[in-house]
Structure 1
Amino acid sequence: MHRLYNSVEPRVMDEDMLKLAVGEQGPKEEAGQLARQEGILFKDVLSLRLDFQNILRIDSLWQFENLRKLQLDNNIIEKIEGLEHLVHLVWLDLSFNNIEAIEGLDTLVNLEDLSLFNNRISKIDSLDALVKLQVLSLGNNQIGNMMNIIYLRRFKDLRTLSLSGNPIAELEDYKMFICAHLPDLVYLDFHRIDDHMSLNAIRDESDLINIEVKILEYSEDITELFNVLMTLEMQLVEQLEETINMFERNIIDLVALFIENVQSLMAQCRDLENHHHEKLLEISINTLEKILKGELDEDLPDDLRALFVDKDTIVNAVGASHDIHLLKIDNREDELVTRTNSWCAHLVDTVSGRYPGLQGLAAARISPATGRGESGHLTPGAYALGDEKYSKIKDGRSPHRRHTRTLPHPHPCLKETSGTRRL
């Protein structure tokens, strides 16, 4: 439950409020009248009560340098501040406010009793300077983590602790955990801790310590086993990488040799086609000469005889046939090279893809300039980089392919038509 602003306007401590409080709480009857006449000095005040004042901010307390007890409960304070000069403070009540964090207590080294009951605090911290702390009330807050109890072990004089009304108090081992970790505690949530509960908690804690010792003992063996397994895994990764790279090199070399054989075979086919073209052209010219002289004894079909009209017609017909044959050879070579390269690339990528753990390692070792790894191995899909042989394979062009066709031995009758024909 949090304090809400009521109909009265929130207030900040000022001189008038403090004087009024000191006057009301000062000595009574004749002593009080005498004190009021002479004036009460703030530095002489030992106890001050400022509860139910609708105070929003703590301020103007620096003159109360000898104050021992300060009561600020049932206000709407949101932040602990303005207490740094109250170094002699022993008792501080900040219950029933809207405080969200413990702070501003670093100079209160003599504080023994601190109440932060019914606020919005979710974490116990920033109390290190309170070395004399004996009573701590943190009930009805938002503390939910057991590790906050461990923090309280540093306070050797702590005897009374209140945490009821927090989420932590709903946990199953709440009381046993506190008794085990705070063995000097006498009162918990306004109830005295009996010796039986304390002994059981300490025994359970001892069992936990024994378990932790065993865990530490086995953890060394687990760590050693882990290191051995990691070493074996690294060796396996290196061997797999070397095997895959060797496979890539071998398959690429085989593909390169196959493509070279294909290109060599296609070059022979072109040479044969060129030789066939020369012979066919020579026979055709001789036949034309015989037809023109009327010396041809054979009967030719009508469609064939129609070609033997003149020299240009014969040359064009034979040349067109030659071009078609060369194109057929080129297309077949391109098909073989392309399909072989695709098959090789797919095979290499498939083999590498079966071991995804190697891909990052391989990628880290690739040289962008050559497409090779640190060991000089070609990487998947990069077999055409950094090597003239593989560049020719990927390009798919035969080193023997002729992009122009020249008649090496032109017929004497065709000197005017000999030369170069573009494919």
Structure 2
Amino acid sequence: MVRIEQPVLEAEPNVINEKLIRSCTQIAGRDPESVEEKKRTIPFAEVEDVSFSFRSLAVISNLQGLVNLVKLQLDNNMLEKIENLGHLTRLTWLDLSFNNISKIEGLETLTNLTDLSLFNNQVEVIENLDTLQCLQVLSMGNNALKKLNNVMYLRQFKSLRIVKLEGNPICKDPEYRSYILSHISQLTYFDYRRVSQPDVTAALEQHQDEMIEIQEKEENQALEEEAAAEKAAHEEKMRETNLEGVETLMDTMVKEDAEWQKLSRVPGLLDGWNDIRDKFNVATEEFKNTILEQYRKKKSEHEEFETSLRDFLHEKDTKARQYITEYEKMKKEAMGKVRQGEPGEAEYLLLAPKAKLVMLKQQLMDLEQEVGEALTELCHEFEGNYMEITEANKGHYNTYFAQVRDLENTFASQVTSVALQLIDKFANDSNEVDKLEDDVRTLLGDKDLLINALQASHDGHTSKIDTVEDKLVNQEVSNANDLINSTVVWEARRSRERVSEIVNYVERNMMDLEEAQREDEAGYDV
């Protein structure tokens, strides 16, 4: 690969500092003086475009304040590593061309990038760009890309329209262009040439077998991702509605049962489990529907509460604004008369607005007291309604888990009975005993050992049932208390803030009136 060496590479390395940033900041405008003034004074947080082209930079650093940067040019420097760019999350355009970069890295958080240039570097592998799904333009010509199949990496970028790879070792492959056009078929321009549909069709035919296999894999992967997303959404719904662990309770009980695997090898011992599981599934489905309906009731109650709050506060805020508007009108008229009147008249002219302001404060405070009392009542009503649903849910949880316990107890009783029958059966039939595995023979040959194993299994199951029930009931109560407490905290904070607003507003306006009076008196004295 032929590299285009730049004269800047022979210069002494430069360091990014405030002075350099300001001189490199790009400001739109035709007046040179105003542009330079803007460069000297603009806060770094407002800078959107910086060009460090041909600045002999060896390291990317000191860009912390440029948090709203949209376009960044670092081309034609001495950079060997991409670093310290992670905070520039608003970047859409990044130029790192004509440097000495050998590895793509440090770009993971730049998810808004649409245009990336690494032209004329030393990169051997296209990698570490997975999060840049907005990418539309990628320039990687004149690098060291050696493996044509590495270009498959770019297939994931569905928005990619322009790709430049000319000047890499892979370009020598006779299938280079057809491989690119078949594997990244959505391109509009490739290596400075517009891509035509006939070229894409021909490329797809040339690589037909491979593309069929790739598409099948992608379809299967898409189905797996869809299934995983549905599963995650369902699990989130179970957490949100406080049903986490209910559907998988039976499986979890068995998975955490240290005795289960051993007992399952005893012929016929656990056959009744499938019947118990079926009954569990029926009870669980009914329970889930009940809790989901209760969840909808809670959500509806909360939404109705918030709607009532908004409507009530809007009504009272409208009334408060009406009071304030009346005062502001009187103040404006009085201040106008003071400015136009004779010196010494201000004290008389401002008496009415001062009295109105005192009355306004009382009106707003009375209104706030009325609001506070009404909000307290609304919150108490909401709390009562919401906690009623919560208490009902506690009953639903207790009823359901009592059913599950009954099923487990029934199974434990059945399996113990079956165990005693098996002990008798195998004790009287040596031929059947000889067919058994050693550990099974040991179990069936020792009644106490088998009964203890069954009891340990049963205890583990009931313990798991109790644990899940306690967790869900406690979570139900905790969620309700958190919601109720948050409304109480909000109401108290809103009241404090509103009283503070009233006091500050009145004090500020009284100061305005008194200042106008003092200025008038000063003019009168003169």
The TM tier, using the shorter chain, reads 0.3 to 0.5
TM-score (norm 2): 0.38
User: Quick check: which has more Rg, 1 or 2?
Assistant: 1
Tell me: higher relative CO, structure 1 or 2? Use CA pairs within 8 A at least 6 residues apart.
Answer: 2
Is the helix fraction higher in 1 or 2? 2
TM-score (norm 1): 0.47
